[in-house]
Structure 1
Amino acid sequence: MGKNEINIIVAILGGLVLVLGLGSKKLEKHPIPATLVALLIGILLGPEVLDIIDPATLGGKSTILEHSARLVLGIGLVSVALRIPKAYPRQNWRQLILLIGLGMLLMWGISTLLVYLILGIPFWLAALIGAIIAPTDPIAASPIVTGPVAKKNLPERLRNAISFESGANDGLSYLFVFLPLLMLTRPEDEALSHWLTTTLLWEVLGATVFGLLLGYVAAKLLNAAEKRDMIQKDWRLVFTVALSLLAVGAGRLIKSDEVLVVFAAGAAFVQVVTEEERGEEERGQEAVNRFFSYPIFALLGTAIPWSGWHELGWSGLLLVAAVLLLRRPPVLLLLKPMLPSIKSTKDALFLGWFGPVAVAAIYYASMAEHKLKEPLVWDVVSLVICASVVIHGISSTPLSRLYGKSTGYRQDEQ
């Protein structure tokens, strides 16, 4: 790739963020979200339309998407951790374990079954795709739980539940993704042994402990620097961004689940810093999060496998509809009696509907495609992602307002 191509891409992505930023207040209240606008711009710039950006010519589509998604997830997951009240995990730990444990397992099972039955592909390949699309994405979920529309119409208990689940289950999904991935690439006995030892004990549990320790130490260092008046206020605004990058890079260096490392680091950081410090860090982190998140959706638009979608045909559209309608809502309705945050059927339906599929799925699908050399993974997952970006994006503002109006939240709970 020549210097001119690099400069063109940098200029376009910078211009995209600039334009979306100028209209950010309007877009926040508009039924068409900024993520969808970025996706449409990416399609326009992609090889099928203007042919200005083609990821296949930039060093490998799956590699570029995987590394870009890693970076965006790292920034976004710390933003999610900063958004969650300090006491929330301690007060709701039973509910959270149930939601991200049994809930995640059920969503993986349903997604796998739908892919297997509708597409008629081998079971372990279906299980891999099912694991990739099962978790709620923290980047796509952020516009649903932040901003004036969400704060005006959604109770904090729902916003916190979506935020924590979307942050934690992206890391936990590593377990579900790697089981079928190992079964597809290794002998069965070796795959199971590796999954139970290396994947579970080191890449997941080890990543959690390492992330918690990293976030705790970073927060203690920040507190010490503040106490001794050693750190400038401007530096504090980017401190958590640096923590995000450190966690992503260190997680990959120790060959663990870096997604889980980042969220654990953010969660531990929040428990140590003061509320005032956390508020300032949250504002800086959220701004950087938006700067990085819009380009990844534009990049997704340039990497859409149109021919692969065409080959999926009506089965692909049926799968999308089935996944969006059956992957989460039945699970949340089933678990409703055991989840204190869900006080009514409307709560369960709202929480069940808004489980968007986006950046985390881009990351896992790109990684799986790179390891398997199987384009079907990206064909199916990218179709579900784009459908989720469109449908969940368009429905978030009107359904949030409908929830607030139908439950009387604005009158009764504010």
Structure 2
Amino acid sequence: MPELSLVNFNIVCATLGGFISVFGLVSFLFKERFYLSEALISLLAGVVFSPHATNFIRPKDYALGSEGNLEEITLYFTRLVLGVQLVLAGVQLPKRYLQVEWKSLSLLLGPGMAAMWICSSLIVWAMIPNFKFLHALTVGACVTPTDPVLSNSIVKGKFADKNVPRPLQRIIVAESGANDGLGYPFLYFGMFLVKYIGMGGEGYSGGAGKAIGLWFYETWVYTIIMSVVYGAVVGWLSRKTLHWAEEKRYVDRESFLVFAIALALFIVGTCGLIGTDDLLACFIAGNVFTQDDWFRLETMDDSLQPTIDMLLNLAIFMWFGAVCPWSVFAQNDIIPIYRLIFLGILILLVRRMPVIFAMHKYIHQIENLFQAAFVGFFGPIGVGAIFYMSEGREFLQGITVDGKVRDDAQRVADAMKIVVWFLAICSIVVHGLSIPLVKAGYNLPRTISTALSTSTAVDQEPVPLTNTSHTHSTATPTPGAVNSRGRKRPAHEEPRLTIFRIGRSIIGSTTQINQSQPGMGSDEEPERPVNLITHESGHGTVATRMPAE
């Protein structure tokens, strides 16, 4: 007798496959007509399928009931998605883009990121009760980078093609790709200080001097500089070997197209083995790989890379919807819910906007204040923030005294979990709904005006037919025509034919008229009846006379 096999693998495959299939049926409608991001839709689907609702996706079961295992799964999942996204971000930029646009990128990645870090940290410090500024620096570092996954929804699609200039799209892609890998120095600056000077450096000797020394050596030299060198070398070797294989005709089309994805997986794995910054290495490798623009142009019309990108986006944001600690937002010992909401509003408004307005005159891709407001507002917080939160919590929970996590490290880790998750959810929702709300607000006055003009046009009196928008025509019927009362109408009667314009449509009809009217004193023979045809032109409504049959 067959039995149901309700194991997690079968449920997850059915749920994920079913959602992607259903979303695919209406994806164009949602993304290109309603301008809704796939990240927001996937997040909502993850909530629906999570243990908070239908319980189809059960993350804790996959992690064997361990909170630590669940965070580790989330950390590795975000690493995978970011690695692929950053290689693709580097590949889609034009050749030598980092060298050509180094001035604009230096402003955004240097003083721009530093200002975003300080602004975010100050807001966190102000809004969390009894929270030290050093601890706020650690939490603020997680939300400093702009997310490359959510940025793609801004710089791709019909809305971006119509409203965002191509140079502006490219600088947003380059910034979000590079600063996601440059988040390590900001994160580890605070965490090293917490470890060596927090609570008097209990359990760890060396003080601030050792913390700064480790920050320079481990973070800047080993993590940042080494990842740049490693990514450049791997990208250069990959480009040369692929060129050679293509010239010898050793590589088939399928392997050629998937090469960038495989390169991302290789870099994520090898950087993880040696403990360096895989995110920055992936972005640098993608840029060097397309240094001559050859691979980008060869794959420009191919849909494999965007397809993989979409599948990863749908999967990761469904996972976020399922694993997000929704309950801790309202019930925790760190920050009350009303302060948390106000913190989210301030971060979205103050974290990035002021610094972009201050620097926009020196960034030639930003041509006016409207574009500065656009770049300042659309600095999303998403997958990158969750990655740095997981990385930071793993480090902080390793600060132990007598086998127990030190109190200050535990408090920072708890605050990081609540604040970063809440800000990521706020950003996904707000940035996911911004474009459709702006489009609706832009079109609403026009829609109301059209409706009001339509109702007014129906009620107004007819006016003479001219080459304007509201028109009517006077026509003389053929002699002997029958009038509305059933008797023959004399030729000298002149009933009026009214043609109304409602909106962009003409409501009316054609009728036969006689151009020769009695009482005019004309000795010429009456002309044949004609038809009066009305139509729209670029200058209004035009009447055309056509000979009647």
Which position in structure 2 is the counterpart of 1:180? 190
Q: Is residue 158 from structure 1 mapped to residue 155 from structure 2 by the alignment?
A: no
Q: Which one-letter code corresponds to 2:379 in the other structure?
A: G
TM-score (norm 1): 0.92
- Judge conservation of contact 2:139–2:415 (CA < 8 Å) in 1: no
Measure how far apart 1:327 and its partner are: 0.5
**Number of matched residues?**
401
Which position in structure 1 is the counterpart of 2:289? 269
- Judge conservation of contact 1:216–1:272 (CA < 8 Å) in 2: no
Change (3 A) 1:153 1:401: farther
Runs of 4 or more, structure 1, over 4 Å off, are: 397-403
- Judge conservation of contact 2:116–2:144 (CA < 8 Å) in 1: yes
Q: In structure 2, how many angstroms separate the alpha carbons of the residues matched to 1:363 and 1:380?
A: 14
Which position in structure 1 is the counterpart of 2:419? 380
Which position in structure 2 is the counterpart of 1:349? 373
Measure how far apart 1:9 and its partner are: 1.8
Measure how far apart 1:202 and its partner are: 1.0
- Judge conservation of contact 1:31–1:398 (CA < 8 Å) in 2: no
Q: In structure 2, how many angstroms separate the alpha carbons of the residues matched to 1:47 and 1:229?
A: 51
Match of 1:240 among 244, 260, 273: 260
Q: Which one-letter code corresponds to 1:363 in the other structure?
A: F
Measure how far apart 1:273 and its partner are: 4.8
Q: Which one-letter code corresponds to 1:343 in the other structure?
A: E
Higher relative contact order (CA 8 A, sep 6+): 1
Superposed CA deviations along residues 364-411 of structure 1, whole A, max 9, x for unmatched, are: 1122223324232111101000110010011135558999xxxxxxxx
Q: In structure 1, how many angstroms separate the alpha carbons of the residues matched to 2:109 and 2:439?
A: 23
Which position in structure 1 is the counterpart of 2:300? 279
Looking at CA atoms only, which structure, 1 or 2, has the larger radius of gyration? 2
SS of the residue 1:279 aligns to: coil
Alignment gaps of 5+ in structure 1: 404-414
Change (3 A) 1:397 1:88: farther
Which position in structure 2 is the counterpart of 1:34? 38
Q: In structure 1, how many angstroms separate the alpha carbons of the residues matched to 2:367 and 2:299?
A: 29
- Judge conservation of contact 2:96–2:292 (CA < 8 Å) in 1: no
Q: In structure 2, how many angstroms separate the alpha carbons of the residues matched to 1:21 and 1:369?
A: 36
Q: In structure 2, how many angstroms separate the alpha carbons of the residues matched to 1:313 and 1:290?
A: 33
- Judge conservation of contact 2:94–2:293 (CA < 8 Å) in 1: no
Which position in structure 2 is the counterpart of 1:99? 108
Measure how far apart 1:61 and its partner are: 2.1
Which position in structure 1 is the counterpart of 2:361? 337
Superposed CA deviations along residues 59-85 of structure 1, whole A, max 9, x for unmatched, are: 222111101100110111112112212
Q: In structure 1, how many angstroms separate the alpha carbons of the residues matched to 2:212 and 2:17?
A: 45
Q: In structure 1, how many angstroms separate the alpha carbons of the residues matched to 2:251 and 2:245?
A: 6
| Aligned-CA RMSD value | 2.0
Superposed CA deviations along residues 9-35 of structure 1, whole A, max 9, x for unmatched, are: 233223333332332222222233221
Q: Is residue 292 from structure 1 mapped to residue 312 from structure 2 by the alignment?
A: yes
SS of the residue 1:271 aligns to: coil
Q: Is residue 313 from structure 1 mapped to residue 337 from structure 2 by the alignment?
A: yes
Measure how far apart 1:143 and its partner are: 1.1
Measure how far apart 1:280 and its partner are: 5.4
Which position in structure 1 is the counterpart of 2:527? none
Q: Is residue 86 from structure 1 mapped to residue 107 from structure 2 by the alignment?
A: no
1:195-274 → structure 2 map (5 Å cutoff): 195-274=215-294
Q: Is residue 47 from structure 1 mapped to residue 86 from structure 2 by the alignment?
A: no
Measure how far apart 1:361 and its partner are: 0.8
Which position in structure 1 is the counterpart of 2:79? 70
Which position in structure 2 is the counterpart of 1:58? 62
Which position in structure 1 is the counterpart of 2:20? 17
Q: In structure 2, how many angstroms separate the alpha carbons of the residues matched to 1:24 and 1:269?
A: 31
Superposed CA deviations along residues 51-106 of structure 1, whole A, max 9, x for unmatched, are: 33232332222111101100110111112112212243232111111111110000
- Judge conservation of contact 1:333–1:348 (CA < 8 Å) in 2: yes
Q: Which one-letter code corresponds to 2:84 in the other structure?
A: I
Measure how far apart 1:113 and its partner are: 0.5
Q: In structure 2, how many angstroms separate the alpha carbons of the residues matched to 1:397 and 1:46?
A: 26
Q: In structure 2, how many angstroms separate the alpha carbons of the residues matched to 1:57 and 1:183?
A: 36
Q: Which one-letter code corresponds to 1:54 in the other structure?
A: R
Q: Is residue 149 from structure 1 mapped to residue 153 from structure 2 by the alignment?
A: no
Q: In structure 2, how many angstroms separate the alpha carbons of the residues matched to 1:143 and 1:235?
A: 27
Q: Which moved more, 1:88-97 or 1:185-194?
A: 185-194
Q: Which one-letter code corresponds to 2:36 in the other structure?
A: I
Q: In structure 2, how many angstroms separate the alpha carbons of the residues matched to 1:192 and 1:86?
A: 37
SS of the residue 1:355 aligns to: coil
TM-score (norm 2): 0.70
Q: In structure 2, how many angstroms separate the alpha carbons of the residues matched to 1:77 and 1:328?
A: 21
Which position in structure 2 is the counterpart of 1:412? none
Q: Is residue 114 from structure 1 mapped to residue 123 from structure 2 by the alignment?
A: yes
Q: Which moved more, 1:121-130 or 1:315-324?
A: 121-130
Q: Which one-letter code corresponds to 1:169 in the other structure?
A: N
Q: Which moved more, 1:187-196 or 1:320-329?
A: 187-196
- Judge conservation of contact 2:95–2:293 (CA < 8 Å) in 1: no
Which position in structure 2 is the counterpart of 1:411? none
Alignment gaps of 5+ in structure 2: 64-68, 197-206, 398-412, 443-549
Change (3 A) 1:7 1:183: farther
Q: Which moved more, 1:174-183 or 1:205-214?
A: 174-183
Q: In structure 1, how many angstroms separate the alpha carbons of the residues matched to 2:214 and 2:266?
A: 27
Q: In structure 2, how many angstroms separate the alpha carbons of the residues matched to 1:239 and 1:280?
A: 16
Greater per-residue helix proportion: 1
